[in-house]
């Protein structure tokens, strides 16, 4: 689609230097308020005891696939009813407008899927294109043919922009013990043309409301863009300006951390993935003469603020499945720390903003009356961007972020996602079929960690994987 006249999630470098200076000042002030409980990558911090309460009070003990669809346990009866309204607008199919039978009309004209859970399958990951929905292609610069994202579906009377095509590229990796690992990736394209694209798999929707409530200062505290501590790891915060009010925040959602607010991420998903306009993204999502005619005829917003808030609160209040740690996984965690995996996959954070309530998370943040609330959570990500090397890079920068930089993937729920070896799909384009493959693709700032992983003894590696599967 092509965004006419709006620029969402602008990177800071497009803003005035004055604003940039202000942001730095503000974050420095905020950073002073961080208490000693705040986590840093410094090795002198006391040893961390892992908790199975991965999402703090949002945790439920169920570790089945279905656990991703449950509400967090602290909702009142009334809040559960409101949550269920949000759920219906996220899970049931939207239809073409006008339709007299439903409030869920306004799909398209161009779209990728007709519901959130069409791609985030039962709130879990998306599918690879040969199996179903959930893989999207983003374009390095808005293209006159496809806009920022390829829409491969269209409502009747309109043409999809194109179809996702790919070539499979095999390679192998020999570890220090002489074991060979077969790796596979895909070179994605649109209709087999040479246009460079960035393929993204729909991520699991675990703990989104909690990540939304981590303060910018706590994320910034781990960033080290100039690698001043000389550990070879230089996480960079993705500083963005809000679509809603232009305020500056740290990006944290999406594989490139390009969205700083859950509410904005969801409004963008409605617009780009489903063709549904809202007060945040009002122009119709399409390209060409046909669409101009369509836009003129359809000036009404297709989702109201009230329903958009309901969907945000549904996603924000999903439960987090408990981890399954025991003595062996504590051993595995030590190896994880020794290999410096934890330098990017930050185990613990505290949410510091007002508690997530069943009102828009954004308005809760702004409201002075909202109670302050702290949850200790274990997302295993610093939410920062890292250079992950050439093998994981796209062909060109996308989302105004260098092609080789990716947000550290949160590892909570990893054991649930990687449980079925026939169906595991890890990393931004789902290329890795196992946890081991995902680690072997690490390069750039993570090259050293990867090499140390390949040098582990068989038993050490088993213990590390045992820990990762307990997440």
153 phi and psi, to 5 degrees? -140, 160
Is the CB of 118 or the CB of 147 nearer to ligand HEC? 118
Cis peptide leading into residue 109 (ω within 30°) = yes
User: What residues between 299 and 318 interact with ligand HEC by CB under 6 A?
Assistant: 311, 315
Among 166, 188, 255, 294, which residue interacts with ligand HEC (rule: CB under 6 A)? 255
56 phi and psi, to 5 degrees? 55, -135
Q: Does 273 bind ligand HEC (CB under 6 A)?
A: yes
Q: Is the dihedral angle over the CA atoms 37, 41, 42, 47 positive or is it negative? A: positive
Among 68, 446, 456, 470, which residue interacts with ligand HEC (rule: CB under 6 A)? 446
Among 445, 461, 463, 470, which residue interacts with ligand HEC (rule: CB under 6 A)? 445
Q: Does 41 bind ligand HEC (CB under 6 A)?
A: no
Strands (E) across 346-414 are located at: 349-351, 375-377, 385-387, 405-407
Least distance in angstroms from the C-beta of 382 to ligand HEC: 8
Task: Transcribe 295-313 into DSSP letters.
Answer: HHH--S-SS-HHHHHHHHH
Least distance in angstroms from the C-beta of 414 to ligand HEC: 6
Least distance in angstroms from the C-beta of 219 to ligand HEC: 13
Q: Does 139 bind ligand HEC (CB under 6 A)?
A: no
Q: Does 440 bind ligand HEC (CB under 6 A)?
A: no
Q: Does 323 bind ligand HEC (CB under 6 A)?
A: no
Q: How far is CA 469 from the centre of its chain?
A: 20
Among 318, 435, 440, 456, which residue interacts with ligand HEC (rule: CB under 6 A)? 435
200 phi and psi, to 5 degrees? -135, 135
Least distance in angstroms from the C-beta of 32 to ligand HEC: 27
* Residue 446 CB contacts under 8 Å (≥ 6 apart), including other chains: 233, 344, 386, 388, 389
Size of residue set near ligand HEC by CB under 6 A: 55
Least distance in angstroms from the C-beta of 21 to ligand HEC: 28
Distance CA 370, CA 361 (A): 11
Task: Transcribe 447-471 into DSSP letters.
Answer: HHHHHHHHTS-HHHHHHHHHHHHT-
User: What residues between 345 and 364 interact with ligand HEC by CB under 6 A?
Assistant: 345
Q: Is the dihedral angle over the CA atoms 168, 173, 178, 179 positive or is it negative? A: negative
**Which residues on adjacent β-strands are paired with residue 167?**
187
Distance CA 10, CA 12 (A): 6
Is the CB of 280 or the CB of 388 nearer to ligand HEC? 388
Among 217, 427, 440, 456, which residue interacts with ligand HEC (rule: CB under 6 A)? 427
Long-range Cβ contacts of 46-51 (<8 Å, 24+ apart):
48/333, 48/347, 48/348, 50/323, 50/325, 50/329, 50/330, 50/333, 50/347, 50/378, 51/323, 51/325, 51/376, 51/378
Q: Does 119 bind ligand HEC (CB under 6 A)?
A: yes
Among 190, 250, 266, 323, which residue interacts with ligand HEC (rule: CB under 6 A)? 266
Asked if 60 and 69 touch (Cβ cutoff 8 Å), the reply is: no
Least distance in angstroms from the C-beta of 270 to ligand HEC: 5
Is the CB of 352 or the CB of 428 nearer to ligand HEC? 428
User: What residues between 77 and 96 interact with ligand HEC by CB under 6 A?
Assistant: 90
Chain contacts with ligand HEC (rule: CB under 6 A): 90, 112-113, 116, 118-120, 126, 133-134, 136, 200-203, 205, 208, 233, 253-256, 262, 265-266, 269-270, 273-274, 311, 315, 339-341, 343-345, 386, 388, 392, 406, 408-409, 414, 426-428, 435, 438-439, 442, 445-446, 449, 453
């Amino acid at each position: 689609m092509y965004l006419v006249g709006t620029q969402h999630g602008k990177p800071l470098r497009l803003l005035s230097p004055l604003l940039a200076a202000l942001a730095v000042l503000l974050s420095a002030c905020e950073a002073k308020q961080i208490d000693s409980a705040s986590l840093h990558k410094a090795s002198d911090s006391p040893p961390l005891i892992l908790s199975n309460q991965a999402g703090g009070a949002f945790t439920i003990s169920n570790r089945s696939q279905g656990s991703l669809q449950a509400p967090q346990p602290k909702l009142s009866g009334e809040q559960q009813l409101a949550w269920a309204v949000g759920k219906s607008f996220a899970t049931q199919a939207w239809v073409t407008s006008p339709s007299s039978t439903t409030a869920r009309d306004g799909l398209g004209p161009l779209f990728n899927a007709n519901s959130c859970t069409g791609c985030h399958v039962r709130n879990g990951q998306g599918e690879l294109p040969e199996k179903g929905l959930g893989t999207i292609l983003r374009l390095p610069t808005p293209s006159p043919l496809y806009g920022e994202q390829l829409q491969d579906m269209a409502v009747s009377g309109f043409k999809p922009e194109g179809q996702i095509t790919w070539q499979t590229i095999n390679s192998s990796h020999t570890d220090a013990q002489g074991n060979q690992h077969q790796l596979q990736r895909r070179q994605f394209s649109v209709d087999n043309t040479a246009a460079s694209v960035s393929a993204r798999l729909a991520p699991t929707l675990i703990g989104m409301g909690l990540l939304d409530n981590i303060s910018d200062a706590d994320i910034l505290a781990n960033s080290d863009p100039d690698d001043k501590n000389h550990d070879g790891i230089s996480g960079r915060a993705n500083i963005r300006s809000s679509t809603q009010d232009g305020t500056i925040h740290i990006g944290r959602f999406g594989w490139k951390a390009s969205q700083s607010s859950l509410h904005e991420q969801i409004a963008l998903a409605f617009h780009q993935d489903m063709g549904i306009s809202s007060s945040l993204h009002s122009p119709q999502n399409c390209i060409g003469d046909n669409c101009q005619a369509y836009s003129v005829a359809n000036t009404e917003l297709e989702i109201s603020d009230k329903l958009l808030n309901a969907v945000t609160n549904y996603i924000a209040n999903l439960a987090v499945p408990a981890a399954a740690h025991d003595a062996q996984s504590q051993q595995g965690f030590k190896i994880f720390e020794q290999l410096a995996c934890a330098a990017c996959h930050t185990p613990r954070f505290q949410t510091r903003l007002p508690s997530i309530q069943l009102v828009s998370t954004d308005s809760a943040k702004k409201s002075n009356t909202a109670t302050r609330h702290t949850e200790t959570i274990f997302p295993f990500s610093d939410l920062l961007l890292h250079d992950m090397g050439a093998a994981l890079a796209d062909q060109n920068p996308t989302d105004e972020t260098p092609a080789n930089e990716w947000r550290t993937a949160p590892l909570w729920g990893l054991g649930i996602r990687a449980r079925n070896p026939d169906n595991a799909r890890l990393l931004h384009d789902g290329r890795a079929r196992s946890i081991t493959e995902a680690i072997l693709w690490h390069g750039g700032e993570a090259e050293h960690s990867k090499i140390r992983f390949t040098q582990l003894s068989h038993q050490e590696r088993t213990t590390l994987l045992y820990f990762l599967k307990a997440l």
